[in-house]
Each structure stands twice: as structure tokens, then as C-alpha cells.
Amino acid sequence: MSSLEKIIRSRRAGPSVAFRERAFGSVERQGFVRDILGLANAMVDEPRYLIMGVRDGGPDDRSFVGISDEELDDAYEFYQSQLSRYIEPALKVDLETMELDGVPIAILALNDCAEQPYLLKENLSNSMREGSGWIRRAAQPRRIRRKDLQQLFERTALSPAHHPTIQIGFTGEGHEEEITLTVLDLSELPSAVAGEKFRKLLDAKQASQGVGGKSTTRLERLVHAREFGGTQPYHRTSEASLVRRLDATEEEYHWADDYYVYETRTHQLNLNLANIGEVGLRDGLLTLDFPHVEGFGISEYIRIGPDSGNHEPPAGYPTIETREHNIRVQAKVRSVPRRATVLAFSEPLRVWVREPLAGRTLPVDYRFHSESLREPVVGTLRIHVRPA
């Protein structure tokens, strides 16, 4: 016997369980909304059930009369429309069915009532006005009183189950409080690579002077072919011209160097925000403080590749502020639904680590604030740096 069947057969009607012989029809919306509000506001820490198709005289005098398919087809759509129209905050109700003693029974299950009190958001009738509500303390719902509201608010404020619980960690297979990053050297810096090619051509030209009393281009051609391959045809160039080209490489390759240093040779870093509580988060602000030390940095914006057809960097990169002792990263987080995990940044951080940092561990302090939290979530993550 399932736990739900056991409840239907043996539980007495009370704050979290209500029985009804037939389904609610469209002319019974007042009774339906009143019964749902009564269950939703019940001060219990368990699911609540409205069980239909049961003639109830108590556990010893309970019979199952069943609910027809026609009733169920019409009922569920009607129930959802009434809930969304008349009850706030939003309340999710699931419709389940099971067969008992050969007849179908319908169960409206309220599995999540974490945002009490639930009230009418518009007038339903002259006797059911906007802002009013009902609560089950026994077998029948009654109108909520001032004392009930105070108890519901206090219960919500004091219960940890009614508040978001956030875990923050680096992206990975789980909740990663520590990660390891490898040193990324700059051995292929475009200006340095280009400069070295011109330097070798210059050395070849100087070495070829005065061979047998005559100059020759054979050595220059060999060096040119080795350094540039077939991408550039050989043209005889004067020594002065090569010196000028060599001196100009840093300026000529400025944008390529910038992209290489701050985009290509960086680690893309993101964080997970995992809401393991029962209440969604909204309007959050995440602040990270990285140490400002030699060999470590965070690109303050996303570079666009020299050969890219795009002219604007992608949106969503967090705000970076490099200070004297730390590098502060901040990003707004619109929402973290209950029992969900979201990325902190829509565009990951570009983090670079260089040789002076090899073998060290960096602490990363975080602070997450949201209007849904009574106090900010704070903690420390760690980055281990290993040599290349």
C-alpha cells in the first residue's frame, strides 16, 4: 500500500487532508477556492490533499464512490484557471488519480506551500473579498483572523525551510570550492614571433655579406622560406628596411598581442549558484574579491579577435575593478529559482595566471546579497596554480 493510499484509507479529515464526494463544478468556484486556501494556509509541514470521490464518515465509515473521466477532464482546466486568477502568491496544485476498490479517485495535491499566507488577489463574491483568506485548523476551513496572519508570518520568518539556501562554487561536476589553474606563458606573443623572424632575416643578410667578395641572397632566401613558408613571396630587402620592420613589430602587432595576452592565454572562469532551498531568489548581487598579486589578473573586458567580423564584444561580462590590494568582480543575478542552479556570469571571467604565481594558492572571498535573503551569503573559494 502506497503512503498516499494509506492516507486516503485511514487518515481523518484535518488541517492537511480534506475529503469530498464529487468534483467541484464551475458553479462551485467559491467553495473550491475556499477549500484550497484553507489547505494552503494550514500550519503543517507536509503535503496537503483534497481527495475527491470519497464519501467520508471517518476512517471506519468511508466509502469510495469514484470520479468520472468527464468530471476530471473539465475539472483540471477549471481548477488551474481559478488558482491563477484568484490566489496569490502563485500556488501549484497537482492532480493525481488512483483506483481504490475498483473506482477512480482524484487527488489535488499541494506539495509546496512555502509562501504563506495565501490570499485572494481579487474579489470573488460579496463575501469573498480581495485580501481575505481561509485556514484549516481542523476538518473545515475558516476565515483567517489577525492572529492567524501573525502566526503565519512568524512561522515563515523562523522556518529555515521557507528561506533560500545558496551554495556558491566554481563550475565543474559539483559544488567546487577549489580549482586548479595552469600557468599560461606568453611564448607565442605575436609581436615576439614576428620580431624573431625579422631578426633571423637580418642575421642572414649580415652573414651573407662579402661571401667570396660578393653578396648573395641564397642564405636570405632559405631563412625567409623557413620562417614565412609560402605565405609571403621573397623580396630582396635592405638591411635598413629590416631594422625598421623589426623596430615596428610591437606597434604593428599591438592588437594581436592584446588579444593573445588577455583572451587567448586566459582561463575562462565561471561560478555556479545553487539554490537548495524552497524559495526562489531574485535581484541578487554577487561580489568576488581576488587578491591583486604579481602573476595574476582578470581581463576588464572581452577582446575581439583581429580577424573577427564582429565589432562589439558580447554582452553580459561582469564589472571588473582593479584596486591596490584586490580585484573586485561584481555581477547582478536576476533570479535563482528554487532547487535550481544557474551560472553567475553569462560571459565567463577571463583570468590569467603567469609564472610568478606557480605553486601558490589564492583565496577568493565572495559575498552574495539578495532581497530574498535575510543576510548575505559569504565565504571563501580557493584557486591553486600549478606550473606549465
Domains and CATH numbers, the chain: 3-156 (3.30.950), 166-185+265-386 (2.60.40.10), 190-263 (no CATH)
Report the share of the chain in percent with pLDDT over 70: 83
**How far is the C-alpha of 157 from the C-alpha of 103, rounded, in Å?**
43
Secondary-structure percent of the chain, ordered helix, strand, coil, rounded to 5: 30, 30, 40
Grid cell for residue 236: 630582396
Show the DSSP H helices in 41-189 as ranges.
69-86, 146-158
Report the share of the chain in percent with pLDDT over 90: 51
pLDDT of 239 reads 63
Please state the rounded mean pLDDT for residues 266-280. Answer: 88
Kind and range of the H or E run holding 385 = strand 377-386
**pLDDT tens digit sequence for 55-92:** 998 888 899 999 988 887 777 778 888 888 999 988 88
Confidence of residue 326 (pLDDT cuts 50, 70, 90): very high
**pLDDT tens digit sequence for 2-60:** 888 999 999 999 999 999 998 888 788 899 999 999 999 999 888 999 999 999 988 88
Please state the rounded mean pLDDT for residues 119-131. Answer: 93
3-class secondary-structure state, position 135: strand
* Maximum Cα–Cα distance across the chain: 122
**pLDDT tens digit sequence for 189-228:** 888 877 777 676 666 666 666 555 444 565 455 555 555 5
pLDDT of 79 reads 86
What is the phi-psi region of residue 229: left when phi exceeds 0, alpha when psi lies from -120 to 50, beta otherwise? left
pLDDT of 199 reads 72
Grid cell for residue 17: 487532508
Supply the mean pLDDT for the chain.
85
Confidence of residue 155 (pLDDT cuts 50, 70, 90): confident
Identity (one letter) of the amino acid at 128?
M
DSSP letters, 179-241, are EEEE----TT-HHHHHHHHHHHHHHHHHHHTTBTTB--SHHHHHHHHHHHTTSS------HHH
- Provide φ and ψ at 109, rounded to 5°: -105, 130
pLDDT of 370 reads 86
Q: Please, are residues 285 and 273 in contact by the beta-carbon 8 Å criterion?
A: no
pLDDT of 301 reads 93
**How far is the C-alpha of 284 from the C-alpha of 334, rounded, in Å?**
6
Bigger pLDDT: 34 vs 372: 34
300 pLDDT above the threshold of 80: yes
252 pLDDT above the threshold of 70: yes
314 pLDDT above the threshold of 90: no
